[in-house]
Chain A
């Protein structure tokens, strides 16, 4: 990938062409967040018809060596663009490109939203949020999810995110997608995952509707400032499918440990109740359990992919190998979730 100096230079040139104005880029900084897309923060100054502009921006690059490479910027850009003003807090997007000439990778540029990303990984027995913070955050967390799922994607560019998907094919398409990735990435066989695939295929639910699905909706992927969720981030796995898929992901053990609060935010019965009320989507607990098992399987496949990336030397980030170390625990959780033991 390009070094910071080249990224800054190319950014300046790209923005100069797009804004048709002299541009100054400053404070370029690479963040450690994320295991897939590379994130830079920077400030840019330029002029437009309203006068001088000074914005804090984010550049995200999908590197050719990354976990899910080859990447496309369109799904994230189009989703964020479509959701502007929808009630889902999202950063405003400015530009995107699939070409590799500008930054060596597909990219998009969006607003830098203020806030911190609380993480779901806390020491066992500790609470991620005190109750006074947790309760209002939980309500916003569920409301934003419901707003994503209520969003009318038909007739928008988001139709391209899942051509032909319907209520009865939503689950099978996702299972097939992740099974294919496992086949591509695994460098040794995993009988327990093989069994899980059979189980998932035999128990796939029919979706209550086809919605925009975030694909990685959890604590860690939103920004919070003064008790308010300021942005939902990391739309890399966005697609059209069963909205309950996101609900299952929220309930996964990996994002709550032994806490009774899903994503450290909300107890399961309350989550179902508030989600149903806000989204209008009926919650079938068996379907949530199915997607919790599917999500755990998906996370296990991501860990296999991370280890593969590292083994091949494509991505020399040691964090990838560290993910691989914890694969056995996740595979056990896949079985445990299927058996209803989590």
Chain B
């Protein structure tokens, strides 16, 4: 998901309160909408992003970073230094793992820029090998995300019907 969970909850609650409910003319439908609003307000403090997929992401990123280190061992110019402090607490929350995943992604972006800038100075094919490794890991994650994503309702969203 691209937006934060908190903002999504707040946005849906606000849309129900300020745009949807006042426009519902049918009392029974309006009471259902109030029910949904009540549920959302109570769900908000009780839920967080699923921890499992986030932890999977981080462990795959760490494995990838170890592979990049092997691929760039003793090459000149040296790659960007690996990220420090990549240890997670023993029982992390999603709120702790998510920024770690983003920090590791930021490092992967740095490596991609470095590989591109130094393509001709690295051993033949090395930059491409690094890029392919990063793309493989990212593609696997994107596939997981897409699998969880319902088909878009762009037509309905555009038409409002």
What A residues does B14 contact at CB under 8 A?
316
User: CB < 8 Å: which of B116, B145, B151 contacts A198?
Assistant: B116
**B12 contacts A by Cβ under 8 Å:** yes
**B42 contacts A by Cβ under 8 Å:** no
**B81 contacts A by Cβ under 8 Å:** no
Interface segment, one of A59-67, A102-110, A284-292, A318-326? A318-326
Of the four ranges (under 10, 10 to 19, 20 to 34, 35 or more), the interface on chain B belongs to 35 or more
In the complex, the answer to whether B2 meets A304 with C-beta atoms within 8 Å is yes
Would you give the shortest CB distance from A305 to chain B, in whole angstroms? Answer: 11
In the complex, the answer to whether B11 meets A189 with C-beta atoms within 8 Å is no
**A329 contacts B by Cβ under 8 Å:** yes
Instruction: State in angstroms the CA–CA spacing of A119 and B157 once bound together.
Output: 11
Q: Is the interface of A mostly helix, strand, loop or mixed?
A: helix
In the complex, the answer to whether B158 meets A328 with C-beta atoms within 8 Å is no
Instruction: State in angstroms the CA–CA spacing of A325 and B150 once bound together.
Output: 9
What B residues does A303 contact at CB under 8 A?
2
What A residues does B7 contact at CB under 8 A?
310-311, 313, 321
Given contacts A119-B158, A328-B145, contact A192 B152 (CB under 8 A): no
Most buried by B among A313, A326, A332, A335: A326
Interface residues of B (CB under 8 A from A): 1-4, 7-8, 11-12, 14-15, 102, 105-106, 108-109, 112-113, 116, 131, 134-135, 138-139, 142-143, 145-146, 149, 151-155, 157-160
8 shortest A-B CB distances, which residue pairs? A324-B2, A328-B145, A121-B155, A307-B2, A32-B160, A121-B154, A198-B116, A191-B108
Interface residues of A (CB under 8 A from B): 32-33, 119, 121-122, 124, 188-192, 194-195, 198, 202, 220, 303-304, 307, 310-311, 313, 316, 318-319, 321-322, 324-329, 331-332, 335
A-B contact sample (15 more), CB < 8 A, given A121-B154, A192-B139, A326-B152: A119-B159, A189-B108, A191-B105, A191-B109, A194-B108, A195-B131, A195-B134, A198-B113, A311-B7, A321-B7, A322-B153, A325-B2, A328-B145, A328-B149, A332-B139
